[in-house]
Amino acid sequence: MTNDEIITIAKEVGFFDEEIDKCQLMFERFAFLVAQKEREACAELTDMAVDFWVKGGFSECAEVREAMNIGESIRARGQA
């Protein structure tokens, strides 16, 4: 999420420019942590699907490998 997007959202919820200027670093950190939590929740869904398929004996399927890659890709977005 860009700084401009964070500022736009802060204004949408009612913060004034002066408040945003004072608290911009906190807004940026807050947005980062929210996005990180959401990414992890999405990645955990792929983990659950992989576990289900592996337990069902489908660990060698291309779809299972792709689901693993998706989960890793989601988590990697937070490290960029």
Tens digits of residue pLDDT in 21-80: 899 899 889 999 999 999 999 999 999 988 888 888 887 788 888 888 898 899 898 776
Average pLDDT over residues 12-27: 91
Please state the rounded mean pLDDT for residues 1-20: 90
Close Cβ partners of 44 (under 8 Å, ≥ 6 residues apart): 71
Q: Report the distance separating Cα 24 and Cα 28, nearest Å.
A: 6
Instruction: Please check the confidence at residue 4 and state whether its pLDDT lies above 80.
Output: yes
Residue 80 has a pLDDT of 60
d(CA 55, CA 5): 42
Q: What is the DSSP letter of 16?
A: -
pTM comes to 0.70
Helix (H, G, I), strand (E, B) or coil at 63: helix
